[in-house]
Amino acid sequence: MSLPDPTETFRQEARELLEQLELGLLDLEQNPANDDLINSTFRALHTIKGSGAMFGFTAVATFVHEFETAFDQVRKGQTPATPALIAVALDAKDHIHKLIEQPDALPAGGDAILDALHAVIAGADHAAIAAAAPFPPAEPAAAAAPAAEGSRRWRVRFRLPGDSLVYGTNPLLLLEEIRAIGPCTVVALTDTIPPLDVIDPEVPYIGWQVDLVADDPREAIDDVFLFLRDGMELSVEPLAEDAAEPVIETPVAAPEVAAASVAQEAAAAPAPARKSAKAAKAAKENDKDVPAVAAASSSMRVDAERLDELMDRVGELVIAQARLTQIAAMSSDGNLKTIAEELERLSSGLRDTTMGIRMVPIGTLFSRFRRLVHDLSRDLGKDIEFITSGEDTELDKTMIERLADPLVHLIRNSVDHGLEVAEKRVASGKAAKGTVRLSAVYAGAEVAISVSDDGAGLNAERIRAKAEEAGLLAADTKIADQDLWQMIFAPGFSTAKEVTSLSGRGVGMDVVKRTIDGLRGSIDVATTPGQGSTMTLRLPLTLAIIDGMLVRVGNGRYTIPLAAVEECVELPEGVEANARGRNFLDIRGSLVPFLRLREVFGTKAPIEPHQKVVIVSSGEGRVGLVVDQIIGNNQTVIKQLSKLHSSIKSFSGATILGDGTVALILDTTHLVAFGQSYVDQGRAA
């Protein structure tokens, strides 16, 4: 079995750190005096620099060092975290991402970003940023500025972990970082070097003693050894001539280190007689203090392809289990029935566990859009408040990945088209700052994701005029508002008066529609002129395996997603058979429309007595589905329909039953909307 590529491991860790860095910078813009945010942002930078140097990304380490040097002044309170500084820091974050993903290309623009960052730190105005000088390189120790009056002398002694050289730690770089703290002298500690014939070149036998002049370097020293504190010997104490009580710092775990894989591997203490780094790791495994490390490794990375393959295998297992259950039901063998029941229980648990692995909080997706709104606010000159809710709502990881583009287009549309400029908002009695809300909530068998704004709302006259101009609507055609709003999702449709870098080509909303249709979802549009609009995406919880209710209509069998089912009732006697589906049931004082599925599907078999009604819901709508027989519940492995059947809206997929036959899965969202249209028609009449 091949080991994972260490550079790819670094990239994965760095992506997470850069995401944390971006969120920290955006939070810092809203709360610039928060020391915790400043420190966490600085730690993310320091971690990226250290791991970049360790894995050979020298360009990353060099750039981040300059970035970190500037941001250190913010941490020390010498420079405020202004919006201008945050804007340049976000550009620097983007450049770091390019350096990591394209290490051989060496993307341009890094020097200009550092120039701008230095200019902001130095307090230069915006016009002088382009001419600002880059950061000067670190001066050698001999030329370092004299210590400020009142500085104290400290002695730092450290020995590195036994396997630190194996994992790329360079003691000279660590000493260079200590030297940057203040004037110092360095002495090598050679008392533990063994005889030449037993020396292992992979073990750092030499320790170091650094006499340093600084106010209080302990926090800075912690940053230098951020990756190594868990397994090294380190002491920081004032020299006796300062008449101060010595301060001894013992190794402690650093849970904030995001590159946990590096910190866990560098946790073995050095010893003179140790023959190799492998022996050091073996000694660490026998250490009784390992529980802290074990707790830190309670999660692991798994490739998405492996999860997809696991889900496919579980799906096949569910189909095989259904077949075994059907065979056992027709058999009189008690042992076979017992085995079938046990396998059904195990496969159900395995399915739930596998589904749990694939479910991801949607907050991981929502956090990406804070940067989008921040940049749009700056580019368009609109003051915008971005509010999110429902981040804990979980959705299948496959759907999370495919939702990114539609939500980007919806948010950009709200910011660009929906929100007015501050002058218009104030003139209409609104607050100058616009609001964009992104929320997610469970709605029965679905997740409803809404993007809303408090802008001007959709302009019905302009949309109708554009639809007529594009030939989508005849001039004398009467159309309901909901159908008119759906016109904005047509390919090439745009109400923008001119094409800009953000909108005007009529592509974005078409992308939204096609993607949501591909996810078996739907889009609801609600708008109030002068008050804003809300776009709601309704999506199934998963695209893989669901619990279903198997029903029969005529000679055909169909599956209804069980999570959408509210209850089952008998169809009352006396209901006319030729009412063409436009009927209502009184369900505990509430009128619920019902559809005869045999009429919807064109079933020719004669009507059977004692028909059943399955009440299903989608969002706030309810509808009854009249079937001939309710067969029972089953685990349903969803198989997508071919492109030839994409126009059939009543079905969202198919599944294979235990006897090998195919049962179509009903699209409850479409059927509920179809049934609710009768309610609207009745109200209009």
CA 456/CA 535 separation, integer angstroms: 14
Provide the pLDDT for residue 609: 82
DSSP 301: -
pLDDT digits (tens, 9 = 90+) for 361-403: 888 888 888 888 988 888 888 889 999 998 888 888 878 888 8
Confidence of residue 575 (pLDDT cuts 50, 70, 90): low
pLDDT digits (tens, 9 = 90+) for 204-222: 888 989 998 888 888 888 8
Query: Percent of the chain at pLDDT above 70?
Result: 79
Report whether pLDDT(236) > 80: yes
Complete edge-to-edge strand list for the sheet that includes strand 446-453: 384-389, 434-443, 446-453, 532-540, 522-528
DSSP 618: E
* 20 occurs within a structural domain: yes
51 and 91 part of one domain: yes
* 238 occurs within a structural domain: yes
CA 422/CA 210 separation, integer angstroms: 58
Q: Which of 159, 140, 84 is nearest to 116 (CA)?
A: 84
Report whether pLDDT(299) > 70: no
Provide the pLDDT for residue 534: 92
Q: Are 520 and 529 in contact (CB under 8 A)?
A: no
Confidence of residue 495 (pLDDT cuts 50, 70, 90): low
* 579 occurs within a structural domain: yes
* 200 occurs within a structural domain: yes
CATH number at residue 652: 2.30.30.40
The count of structural domains within the chain is 5
Report whether pLDDT(243) > 60: no
Domain extent at residue 326: 307-360
State mean pLDDT over 518-546: 82
Complete edge-to-edge strand list for the sheet that includes strand 662-666: 629-637, 545-553, 556-561, 662-666, 651-656
Averaged pLDDT score across all residues of the chain? 77
Confidence of residue 15 (pLDDT cuts 50, 70, 90): confident
φ/ψ (deg, to 5) at 357: -65, -35
* 294 occurs within a structural domain: no
532 and 588 part of one domain: no
CA 682/CA 78 separation, integer angstroms: 70
Confidence of residue 614 (pLDDT cuts 50, 70, 90): very high
The pair of structure tokens assigned to 109 is 């623009």
463 and 379 part of one domain: yes
Confidence of residue 680 (pLDDT cuts 50, 70, 90): low
19 and 98 part of one domain: yes
313 and 327 part of one domain: yes
283 and 155 part of one domain: yes
Concatenated DSSP letters of 354-407: HHHHHEEETHHHHTTHHHHHHHHHHHHT--EEEEEE-TT-EEEHHHHHHHHHHH
Concatenated DSSP letters of 165-221: TTTT--HHHHHHHHHHHS-EEEEEE-TT---GGG--TTS---EEEEEEEES--HHHH
Confidence of residue 267 (pLDDT cuts 50, 70, 90): very low
582 and 535 part of one domain: no
CA 418/CA 21 separation, integer angstroms: 30
* 598 occurs within a structural domain: yes
Q: Is the pTM of this model over 0.75?
A: no
State mean pLDDT over 600-624: 84
Which residue is listed with tokens 């992979």? 202
- Residue with more model confidence, 446 or 309: 309
Categorise residue 519: left if φ over 0, alpha if ψ from -120 to 50, beta otherwise: alpha
Spatial neighbors of 155 by CB under 8 A, at least 6 apart, are 209, 210, 211, 212, 235, 236, 237, 238, 239
CA 37/CA 71 separation, integer angstroms: 12
Provide the pLDDT for residue 270: 37
491 and 552 part of one domain: no
State mean pLDDT over 579-599: 78
* 302 occurs within a structural domain: no
- At 489 the three-state DSSP class reads helix
Provide the pLDDT for residue 339: 92
* 273 occurs within a structural domain: yes
CA 237/CA 249 separation, integer angstroms: 8
Query: Percent of the chain at pLDDT above 90?
Result: 7
378 and 325 part of one domain: no
Domain edge (last residue) among 99, 131, 163: 131
State mean pLDDT over 164-168: 75
Report whether pLDDT(2) > 80: no
CATH number at residue 484: 3.30.565.10
Domain edge (last residue) among 259, 288, 317: 288
CA 529/CA 458 separation, integer angstroms: 7
Q: Which helix (H) or strand (E) holds 138?
A: none
159 and 103 part of one domain: no
pLDDT digits (tens, 9 = 90+) for 342-355: 998 898 888 888 87
Rg over alpha carbons for the chain, rounded to the nearest Å, is: 33
